[in-house]
């Protein structure tokens, strides 16, 4: 008589559980009935949602990054037996608890230390935090490999490439083609874009995302960051990475091989699909996903990105060519510039200008060179100096208006 195979639930940590990707991850687990044991959930400031999630999923620990919110978290979890913790060090500790699978979905440079901490444990890292790749990509991938773990991208574009790039044919890749929705200003004139408000920039046509990522989509800086990530993730030089604007967001990206064959991955715009792929790979996780109805779309369209209206793509290419700390500097400058725009201190078109100026100044000061020290320390040093310079650049732009 055959024994039924009982597989132990996978031990999971969700970093950034209250954000858009974290919420989608937990929703996917609920909808698929995946066998998971949640070790830890971490959040930045959304203490009510974190406590709600913790009471539902019963992790060993719930961590709030903002230490001032610890008393509130303790109160909300009182009597549940779930440990409450706070602070950046506690987030990194949660990342290193020894999970099998870690969702890295903290937005911004704050996601870098916990992602590296998770990589050192040999976990499978589902990577939705752009910054850890942009700022320390080669180091992160090396650390994960040495620990016997892996990094599986969750960004829909990189997930698409990951799914159609056959490892045996990696040396036969002619181009990686990232698709871009074009964002809310795809058809706007440059003059109209100059007057765009934060509200208009955040209204994305296809995806629901946080404010910062939505602005990056509107400037197309997100595609610039994704080009850098793709270069690191798939070992592809900048000249072999292209961007095509595809407003329907059905084709998530393509890989063109040297035999003339181009493979694409398609699906409705729903982040739960790439999360499911990262969770079950190389298997597939059945869940009640919406099937793709191509006839309902009727047509899929494509156009070249306009580099005059969207200079961010060219800025990212330059950062990738400069190498070293340039991508980390670009990312930090962009975070400062986007925050200034959302705060109505600078105009929409000033974002890319501020990033380009910061990169020029950093390069002029010789601040791009990597110190050859610890990956996290190097990235953080560049991050700090780029932010300082970007703040100066932004205040100069503000004064000149």
pLDDT of residue 400 exceeding 60, the answer is yes
Cα 160 to the chain's mean position, in Å?
A: 14
Split at pLDDT 50, 70, 90, the class of 208 is low
Helix (H) or strand (E) holding 42: strand 36-43
pLDDT digits (tens, 9 = 90+) for 14-30: 999 999 999 999 999 99
pLDDT digits (tens, 9 = 90+) for 334-354: 999 999 999 999 999 999 999
Confidence bin at 3 (pLDDT 50/70/90): low
The predicted-structure confidence for 88-120, as pLDDT tens digits, reads as follows 999 999 999 999 999 999 988 789 999 999 999
Q: What tokens appear for 192 in the block?
A: 């109209």
129 or 311, which is more confident?
A: 311
235 versus 109: which is more confidently predicted?
A: 235
Handedness of CA 205, 207, 210, 215 (dihedral sign): negative
Residue 42 CA to residue 152 CA, distance in Å, equals 20
Burial of residue 341 (number of CB atoms within 10 Å: 0-12, 13-18, 19+):
buried
pLDDT on residue 184: 93
208, with CB counted inside 10 A (0-12, 13-18, 19+), is exposed
Per-residue model confidence (pLDDT) at position 85: 98
Per-residue pLDDT tens over the stretch 307-327: 999 999 999 999 999 988 999
pLDDT of residue 370: 53
pLDDT (0 to 100) of residue 371: 54
d(CA 64, CA 75): 13
Tell me the C-alpha distance between 236 and 208, whole Å. 29
Distances (CA, A) of 95 to 112, 186, 204: 11, 38, 31
Work out the average pLDDT over 249-253: 96
Residue range 8-19: mean pLDDT, rounded: 96
Q: Which of 104, 97, 139 is nearest to 122 (CA)?
A: 97
Question: What Å distances lie between residue 292 and 165, 265, 307, 330, 371, CA to CA?
Answer: 21, 11, 31, 36, 48
- pLDDT bin (cut points 50, 70, 90) of residue 57 is very high
Domains of the chain: 10-153 (3.40.50.720), 156-269+302-321 (no CATH), 323-401 (1.10.1740.10)
pLDDT in the model for residue 376: 78
pLDDT of residue 4: 59
Is residue 70 over pLDDT 60? yes
149 has a pLDDT exceeding 80? yes
């Amino acid at each position: 008589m055959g024994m039924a195979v009982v597989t132990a639930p996978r031990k999971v940590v969700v970093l950034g559980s209250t954000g858009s990707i974290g919420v989608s991850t937990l929703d996917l687990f609920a909808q698929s009935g995946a066998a998971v044991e949640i070790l830890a959930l971490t959040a930045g400031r959304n203490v009510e949602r974190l406590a709600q999630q913790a009471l539902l999923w019963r992790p060993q620990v719930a961590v709030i990054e903002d230490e001032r919110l610890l008393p509130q978290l303790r109160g909300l979890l009182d009597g549940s037996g779930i440990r409450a913790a706070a602070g950046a060090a506690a987030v990194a500790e949660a990342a290193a608890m020894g999970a099998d699978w870690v969702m890295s979905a903290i937005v911004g440079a704050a996601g870098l230390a916990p992602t590296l901490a998770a990589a050192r444990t040999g976990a499978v890292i589902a990577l939705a935090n752009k910054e850890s790749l942009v700022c320390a990509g080669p180091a992160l991938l090396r650390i994960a490999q040495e620990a016997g773990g892996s990094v599986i991208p969750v960004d829909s574009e990189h997930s698409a490439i990951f799914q159609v790039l056959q490892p045996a044919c990696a040396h036969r890749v002619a181009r990686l083609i990232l698709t871009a929705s074009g964002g809310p200003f795809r058809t706007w004139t440059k003059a109209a874009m100059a007057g765009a408000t934060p509200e208009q920039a955040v209204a994305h046509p296809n995806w629901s995302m946080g404010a910062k990522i939505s602005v990056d989509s509107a400037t197309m800086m997100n595609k610039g960051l994704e080009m850098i990530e793709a270069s690191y993730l798939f070992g592809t030089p900048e000249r072999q990475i292209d961007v095509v604007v595809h407003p329907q967001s059905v084709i998530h990206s393509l890989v063109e091989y040297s035999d003339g064959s181009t493979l694409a991955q398609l699906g409705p715009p729903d982040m739960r699909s790439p999360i499911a792929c990262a969770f079950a790979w190389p298997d597939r996780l059945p869940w009640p996903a919406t099937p793709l109805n191509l006839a309902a779309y009727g047509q899929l369209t494509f156009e070249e990105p306009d580099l005059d209206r969207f200079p961010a793509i060219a800025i990212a290419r330059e950062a990738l060519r400069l190498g070293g700390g340039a991508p980390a500097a670009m990312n930090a400058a962009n975070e400062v510039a986007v925050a200034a725009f959302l705060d109505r201190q600078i105009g929409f078109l000033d974002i890319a200008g501020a990033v380009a100026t910061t990169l020029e100044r950093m390069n002029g000061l010789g601040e791009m060179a990597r110190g050859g020290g610890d990956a996290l320390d190097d990235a953080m040093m560049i991050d700090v100096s780029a932010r300082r310079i970007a703040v100066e650049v932004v205040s100069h732009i503000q004064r000149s208006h």
